[in-house]
Amino acid sequence: MRNEQGPLPTDIYLSFVSSLYHNRGMLVIGMLLHVATFLLVFLKTSDAFYLACIVAILFLWVLRNLDMMRFDRSDLSDADDAAVRRWENRYIAGGVAVALTCGAACAYAIAVTRDSFAQLACISVTLASLSPLVGRNFGSERAVLLLSSAACLPMMIAALSLGDPFMAALAFLILPFILSTRMMANNVRSFLSEKVLSARNDNLLSAEQIGTIASQFETALNSMTRGLFMLDRHSRVAVVNERAAELLRLGDKAELKGMPIDDVLERGARGMALDAEKSEYIATQLHLLIAGRRSRTLISIAEDLFLEFAAYPRENGEVVLILEDMTAHVLAERQILYMARFDMLTGLPSRNHFAELVHDAMGVDAAPDRDVGFLLLDVAEFRHVNDTRGHIAGDKLLKAIAVRLKSLAAAETIAARLMGDEFLVFFPNLPGRSDLKERICGLHAELQGTYVADGLRFEMAIDGGFVLVNASDFRFEELQIKADLALSEAKKRGHGGCAAFEEAMEARYLDRLKLKVDLREAVAGRALDLAYQPMFTPDGSRVESCEALTRWIHPERGSVPPPVFIQLAEELGLVTELTRLVVAQACRDCLSWPPEVAVSVNLSVLDLRGDEIVGVLTGILKETGLAPDRLHLEITESCLMADPARVQKVLHQLRAGGMTIAIDDFGTGYSSLSYLDSLPVSVIKIDRSFVHDIDEDSRHFKLLLGIVNLARALELKIVAEGVETPEQLQLLRERNCADLIQGFVFAAPMPASAVAALCTHTSQARAASGGSPSADFHENPSQPKSLG
């Protein structure tokens, strides 16, 4: 270590490094503050990164304390510069690791989490922990520079990575903070080192030198960011700096020397206009500090002023009192606590705080002989608002709904925002009131209607589900589940409804849970079966393809309808696994059929949300040896609307792999016409709703002809689904409306072995007729139905 005159003597260098290992209480406070902050951020964001930060802070705190105890036990009386530097480096390494952890948390909050609470909490606590950096680390120039850089540089990099010019400007504004911190530490360290060296070199100081040193000491003392009192053994003021006089509003500090501390406090109370009770409390706390019964205390002087006092007794009976303005820290912690308890968008309590408020209300006001109510609200079609008007308009709409909810809810009612567009309302059991159900339904009804947000008018319907329960049976989680079940029932009845919980809902819910468990076991055990419905040429002479239809025969319930278990599979995240099983079995079955017969498999919208399905299908074709052109993939129009760009990319990859793409249930959606030209579609399957009454309703038949003309113009192959009668078949043949026919008019779904027999039968009939359409199929096309 050097000063302006050159390297410092080893003993002075050692004293500076030793100062780094003092005041370990601040490390404990810093550790607790960081852990509490990262824990709150984790509870708010559920991001495991902040748990890792907590573990890192605790681990580093333990290591640094062990290192400091080792320093205490070390004999450094004969230490040279190299040994002292090693201890300095050890301290810096630990400090930099902590600062880097805090800086990384800030950078992660800025660039990755992008949650306003996480950003405010991490940045404010990190910068607050840097404020006393100079006072704790002035003994090492490198420590101040490296610690401040380790904390601030990750924030700068994260801000710059966002590509926002304002964030970039803010990032560069952090540099002066690092430089000014380093400069302040250098000034303090240079002043102390120069004076110690000067005193060492001159056995006797002249009066002028003494005056100069006193003046410089006074300047350094008054440059401190913290207030300082030095009290003699009789608790009279020996030394006081400007900051202490300013914080306590004591006026001219020169008048304070020699004054008892009690008189100083009384003077400060008058200056701050404190009442007698507050003045007595402050005096009591400071006497405890001076007496050594406490080391530090935080005192609320006023709503906008919080001071922390710390006492450092000396062996000669003197006491040094340090006071620091902690207002910014306290207010930041309060803001962090508020953000953890309340939803920042609507100002309503968050779910966790709502639970606390409800439990408090039940503990104070609940009477076991009265009912309480629990209402769950959901804004119908709110996603449509975000999609069409943008998220800013959606957020303002939620705020408008929250404002109305607050105005409608009675004073004793507790309302909260659960998540997204869902709200919770708790109705306590008021004495003398028996209209709880009417109040709940009334609040729900008044929430319906017109809202103005972002200059736009919205006609909104609010779905509601509520549960009434005796106060003695109150269980928070249980009530929320029941209200959610009632809400689901209300949604089934149409938008804007409000349903009360009934025991039958819970029975259906539990039954559905059990069915989910059974389905998971069935998929894992490959207990689902496949049936195949053939697609014939219109004359019935040949089978070209068969659609694979999944069947689940439950051991207790019997046959479970596909719409039921497919929806359950989507909720369980089993769709990709189910698709894998179905495609693999369908490909193996197809190999047992004639080589000109293909198999058609339905894909879910969830299958097309990523590229994984491409690898799955390619792998199955390679494993089974089925030619790719014999695998047809059917998608519905709803798949096209989910994520058009991603779906289009996946379908092109599948088509490039040789597979055929077909649109199933064509005409029932509203999007496919705009995508037909850009998607690699080869086949459209006209939905059965366009076919079932074409022999009776001429308008339906004209609509069918329009779809056919469109498909012909785009050179797409046409499959007519749901053809059940000879009359429907005759009309389709006469107007050339289909290339393939699928329906009971030819065959019902059948097992794979029956498909092989059916193909053999049609082949023999064709051969017997000399290659012309079989009379059996032409005159009585429903005959093969018996093979199913």
pLDDT for res 81: 77
pLDDT for res 783: 40
CATH of domain 342-501: 3.30.70.270
Question: Is the per-residue pLDDT at 689 higher than 80?
Answer: yes
pLDDT for res 197: 58
pLDDT for res 782: 38
pLDDT band per the 50, 70, 90 thresholds, residue 785: very low
Question: Is the per-residue pLDDT at 729 higher than 80?
Answer: yes
Mean pLDDT within 292-307: 83
pLDDT for res 779: 39
Question: Is the per-residue pLDDT at 412 higher than 90?
Answer: no
CA distances from 625 to 282, 587, 620 (A): 86, 8, 8
pLDDT band per the 50, 70, 90 thresholds, residue 550: very high
CATH class of domain segment(s) 224-341: alpha beta
For the chain, give the number of residues: 788
List the domain boundaries for the chain.
1-219, 224-341, 342-501, 525-787
pLDDT for res 758: 92
pLDDT for res 3: 41
pLDDT for res 391: 85
pLDDT band per the 50, 70, 90 thresholds, residue 1: low
pLDDT for res 432: 53
If phi > 0 it is left, if psi is from -120 to 50 it is alpha, else beta; for residue 625 that is: left
Q: Inter-axis angle of helices 49-73 and 25-45, to 10 degrees?
A: 170
CA distances from 247 to 223, 226, 240, 305, 692 (A): 14, 9, 12, 9, 87
Task: Quote the distance between the C-alpha of residue 80 and its chain's center.
Answer: 54
pLDDT for res 5: 38
Closest CA to 320 of 251, 248, 244: 244
pTM, entire model: 0.50
Identify the residue with better confidence: 547 or 92: 547
pLDDT band per the 50, 70, 90 thresholds, residue 133: low
pLDDT, tens only, 50-86: 999 999 989 988 888 888 888 878 877 677 878 888 8
Distance CA 361, CA 301 (A): 32
Q: Which two tokens stand for residue 497?
A: 């409804």
Question: Is the per-residue pLDDT at 546 higher than 90?
Answer: yes
Per-residue H/E/C for 384-422 = HHHHHHCHHHHHHHHHHHHHHHHHHCCCCCEEEEEECCE
Name which of 46-60, 283-297, 359-373, 639-653 the model is least confident about.
359-373
pLDDT for res 533: 94
pLDDT for res 575: 86
Name which of 42-51, 127-136, 457-466 the model is least confident about.
127-136
Identify the residue with better confidence: 670 or 631: 631
Distance CA 432, CA 427 (A): 14
pLDDT band per the 50, 70, 90 thresholds, residue 364: low
Question: Is the per-residue pLDDT at 210 higher than 70?
Answer: no
Mean pLDDT within 374-384: 89
Q: Whole-number mean pLDDT of the chain?
A: 82
pLDDT band per the 50, 70, 90 thresholds, residue 671: very low
Q: For residue 778, what is the DSSP state? A: H
Q: What is the DSSP string of 82-148?
A: HHHHHHHHHHHHHHHHHHHHHHHHHHHIIIII--HHHHHHHHHHHHHHHTTHHHHHTT-HHHHHHHH
pLDDT band per the 50, 70, 90 thresholds, residue 435: confident
pLDDT for res 91: 84
Question: Is the per-residue pLDDT at 734 higher than 70?
Answer: yes
pLDDT for res 430: 64
Mean pLDDT within 293-304: 82
- Classified as helix, coil or strand, 301 is strand
CA dihedral sign of residues 494, 495, 496, 497: positive
Question: Is the per-residue pLDDT at 222 higher than 70?
Answer: no
Mean pLDDT within 534-549: 94
Cβ contact 632:599 at 8 Å: yes
Identify the residue with better confidence: 138 or 519: 519
Q: What is the second-level CATH architecture of the domain 525-787? A: Alpha-Beta Barrel (3.20)
Identify the residue with better confidence: 767 or 138: 767
> Alpha helices of 291-424 — where are they, by DSSP H?
327-341, 351-365, 382-389, 391-408
Highest mean pLDDT among 176-185, 217-226, 732-741: 732-741
- Classified as helix, coil or strand, 8 is coil
Question: Is the per-residue pLDDT at 427 higher than 50?
Answer: yes
Question: Is the per-residue pLDDT at 395 higher than 70?
Answer: yes
- Find all residues with CB under 8 Å of 417, minimum gap 6, and list them: 343, 345, 346, 348, 349, 350, 351, 398, 402, 423, 424
Cβ contact 680:655 at 8 Å: yes
pLDDT band per the 50, 70, 90 thresholds, residue 139: low
By percentage, how much of the chain surpasses pLDDT 90? 21
Question: Is the per-residue pLDDT at 692 higher than 60?
Answer: yes
Closest CA to 249 of 221, 279, 223: 279
